[in-house]
Structure 1
Amino acid sequence: MRCPTPSDSATSVVSTKRSKKRITFQEAIAQLTDQRDLLAQQIALEKEDMEDRKMQAQRQEEREGVRDARLEQEELEKKERIAAREHEDVRLGAQKAAGNKSLIRIEEVGKRTSVSEDTKEFWPLHK
């Protein structure tokens, strides 16, 4: 066995599919550094992509939350319109029951609706 010489330690054998090529350690270090830099760039891009996806997911959740809130608001408005129509129907029914007099006042007391005409009161509506 022979002892390694300084020229042997300064070069390295790199195998490729076609042939073996001798490069210096500095070239090997430069190649590895380039590969490391490329990997670091890829990792940074992947992190940015993940952050972008997270932000998009948050925006989507916010949009869905807004959409849910809007649907709830529309449902509430629909219920209010129905209640207003029912109240109007009750008022018209009370007016008709009181003999279509012009001085009918409707007061809402809790869940009951009272119809008063001067001193006469009418309570058959909601109990």
Structure 2
Amino acid sequence: MRRLSLLAIPALAVAGMACAQSPAATDGIAKADFQSMLRARMLKADTDGDGRISAAEWSAAAKARGKGRMGDRVFSRMDANGNGFIEAAELDAIAAKRFDKRDVDHDGRLSGDERKAMVDEMREKAGA
């Protein structure tokens, strides 16, 4: 069985939250809103409140989720500038890439069907 990456778990939760929001449920969710929700969810690992996630904070969050060393590898991929921190701009870039991939009609919003497809794909990859 494949495991969800640490990024996929919050993204799955963000997609679920987006599906449940009333305005977004009918109109879709904009990229900026998707980025904001993912950023807020991921920054919960920022235990010192400096607005970025250190390798130590990420490692602690990964271990709390039972991901251990896998979490360290994910951190390295997410730390695009290699400064030892995952910053809001890096999270926004990841969310934008994920959004663009899922916005199949390229209208700048994730419709209910597009969000459902994203959630279904992540669940399938997780073996759920």
TM-score tier (shorter) = under 0.3
Which of structures 1 and 2 has the larger relative contact order (alpha carbons within 8 angstroms, sep 6+)?
2
Kindly indicate which of the two structures has a greater share of residues assigned to helix. Answer: 2
Kindly indicate which of the two structures has a greater share of residues assigned to strand. Answer: 1
